[in-house]
């Protein structure tokens, strides 16, 4: 039941995010888990800790810009070296409740 709720919330989030045109997000069935993608020009990379389940975890917030808008996505752990500033980046990730687990990151040449 919990997976269904997460799946439904993910679908709603995908519809909202793609509707604004700021970040391209795609989903694909991946042997039992959903993998999503986000891409765009990296504007801001911020490393922080957030409260989760009565404790704290480290999260890297990445702000992508595409088509004049922007969107910030939280990635689990210290991922600052994966997201060079002022570069076009595609990040594939598995969504989580507090942050997203990176599957792969591709930096596109200028």
* Domains of the chain in sequence order: 2-108 (2.40.50)
Stronger pLDDT, 44 or 68, i.e. the higher one: 44
Query: What confidence tens digit (pLDDT) does each residue in 9-59 have?
Result: 555 554 554 454 445 555 544 455 789 999 999 999 999 999 988 899 999
Look up the pTM and report it. Answer: 0.69
pLDDT at 11: 52
Write out 95-107 in H/E/C secondary structure: CCCCCEEEEEEEE
Helix (H) or strand (E) holding 20: helix 2-20
70-83 average pLDDT score = 96
Do 60 and 77 meet the contact criterion of CB atoms below 8 Å apart? yes
pLDDT at 66: 87
- DSSP 8-class letter at 80: G
> 3-state class of 31 per DSSP?
coil
pLDDT at 9: 53
């Amino acid at each position: 039941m919990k997976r269904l709720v997460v799946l439904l919330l993910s679908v709603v989030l995908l519809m909202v995010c793609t509707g604004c045109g700021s970040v391209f997000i795609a989903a694909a069935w991946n042997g039992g888990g959903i993998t999503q993608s986000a891409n765009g020009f990296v504007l801001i990379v911020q490393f922080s800790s957030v409260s989760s389940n009565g404790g704290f975890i480290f999260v890297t917030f990445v702000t992508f810009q595409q088509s004049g808008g922007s969107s910030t996505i939280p990635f689990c752990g210290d991922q600052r070296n994966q997201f060079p500033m002022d570069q076009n980046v595609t990040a594939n990730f598995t969504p989580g409740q507090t942050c997203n687990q990176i599957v792969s990151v591709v930096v596109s040449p200028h």
